[in-house]
């Protein structure tokens, strides 16, 4: 695998084809693409019912997450959300060569709508830098009180590692502009406009930023990961290899899942 992250242009080119197959979260995914490539915190929410619900599809978030560490973390997040009335949780996804080109932290806060319904407000922040004990971080969901000190300590930790200031505002990429652009590009994708021209317009307009996204090699979903992705006629599954323990984008063929890291395979049962 290459140690260099894929450019946002080619990543988005891959995404367009997968988005055409499943347009359920198209505008939400485009908005996330804009924020991630501009390194702007991506804010979204889950509804809390008997489980965690994606408001874009009104389906459980677990319908979109492949088995593995992220699924386990999401189940812990669900348990915490159902058992608590307030608080903050956060999870760090360290950079992983060939899969995640940069680190990501997702901060989860218990909030309530005007109607009094519980929701989990999520803020995903991408950042560079070397982390200590990355695998231990990846497997841990942290909990903290909901106060200014918690958020200040998290932001200071990110800035000390990355030596970058976290953008708190969109600047010229304001919400209305991003929403209008996302609608425009969603319509181009739906109507079959050539993928390379769609991405060219995104880049030319400034909608597509210069930074790599958090999961370039296989995912058509930035906020979630669907169980199987189709790219260039290949079936790709984001999973944790049972042999080498790495999180990989494994290819499925001849009835088996093949790990690109260790080369071993096992039968794939639908």
Which tens digits make up the pLDDT trace of 188-231? 999 988 888 898 899 888 899 888 776 533 332 223 333 455 55
Residue 167 has what pLDDT? 61
The answer to whether position 14 is within a domain reads: yes
Same domain, 111 and 50: yes
Same domain, 60 and 138: yes
Same domain, 46 and 98: yes
Same domain, 158 and 173: no
Same domain, 84 and 129: yes
Residue 173 has what pLDDT? 43
Write out pLDDT tens, residues 245-262.
Answer: 665 667 788 777 888 777
Residue 5 has what pLDDT? 57
The answer to whether position 221 is within a domain reads: no
The answer to whether position 101 is within a domain reads: yes
Q: Between 125 and 236, where is the model more confident?
A: 125
Q: Between 213 and 6, where is the model more confident?
A: 213
Same domain, 131 and 28: no
Residue 221 has what pLDDT? 26
Residue 209 has what pLDDT? 87
Asked if pLDDT for residue 107 goes beyond 50, the answer is yes
Asked if pLDDT for residue 98 goes beyond 80, the answer is no
Mean predicted confidence (pLDDT) in 43-57:
91
Same domain, 146 and 56: yes
Confidence of residue 268 (pLDDT cuts 50, 70, 90): low
Same domain, 134 and 100: yes
Same domain, 185 and 246: no
Residue 77 has what pLDDT? 97
The last residue of one of the domains, among 132, 162, 192, is 162
Confidence of residue 3 (pLDDT cuts 50, 70, 90): very low
% of the chain residues with pLDDT over 90: 33
Mean predicted confidence (pLDDT) in 109-126:
90
Sign of the Cα torsion 8, 241, 46, 224 reads positive
Residues 6+ apart with CB under 8 A from 153: none
Same domain, 71 and 5: no
Provide the domain count of the chain: 3
Same domain, 258 and 199: no
Q: Between 142 and 102, where is the model more confident?
A: 142
Residue 174 has what pLDDT? 54
The answer to whether position 128 is within a domain reads: yes
**Mean residue pLDDT across the chain:** 81
The last residue of one of the domains, among 140, 162, 184, is 162
The answer to whether position 136 is within a domain reads: yes
Asked if pLDDT for residue 130 goes beyond 60, the answer is yes
Which range is least confidently modeled, 66-75, 100-109, 195-204, 224-233? 224-233
The answer to whether position 152 is within a domain reads: yes
The answer to whether position 220 is within a domain reads: no
Same domain, 114 and 146: yes
| Domain containing residue 79 | 41-162
The answer to whether position 224 is within a domain reads: no
């Amino acid at each position: 695998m290459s140690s260099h992250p894929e450019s946002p242009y080619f990543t988005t080119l891959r995404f367009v084809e997968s988005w055409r197959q499943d347009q359920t979260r198209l505008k939400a995914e485009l908005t996330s693409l804009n924020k991630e490539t501009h390194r702007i915190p991506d804010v979204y929410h889950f509804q809390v019912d008997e489980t965690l619900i994606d408001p874009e599809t009104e389906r459980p978030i677990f319908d979109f997450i492949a088995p593995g560490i992220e699924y386990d973390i999401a189940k812990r997040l669900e348990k915490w959300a159902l058992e608590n009335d307030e608080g903050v949780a956060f999870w760090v996804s360290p950079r992983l060569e060939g899969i995640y080109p940069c680190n990501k932290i997702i901060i989860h806060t218990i909030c309530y709508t005007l109607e009094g319904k519980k929701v989990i407000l999520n803020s995903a922040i991408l950042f560079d830098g070397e982390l200590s004990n990355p695998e231990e971080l990846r497997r841990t969901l942290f909990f903290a009180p909901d106060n200014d000190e918690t958020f200040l300590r998290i932001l200071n930790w990110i800035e000390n590692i990355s030596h970058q200031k976290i953008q708190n505002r969109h600047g010229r990429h304001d919400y209305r502009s991003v929403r209008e652009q996302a609608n425009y590009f969603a319509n181009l994708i739906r109507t079959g406009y050539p993928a390379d021209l769609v991405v060219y317009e995104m880049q030319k307009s400034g909608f597509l930023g210069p930074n790599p996204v958090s999961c370039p090699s296989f995912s058509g979903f930035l906020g979630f990961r669907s169980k199987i992705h189709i790219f260039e006629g290949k079936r790709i599954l984001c999973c944790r290899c049972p042999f080498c323990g790495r999180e990989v984008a494994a290819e499925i063929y001849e009835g088996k899942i093949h790990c690109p890291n260790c080369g071993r395979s096992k039968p794939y049962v639908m």
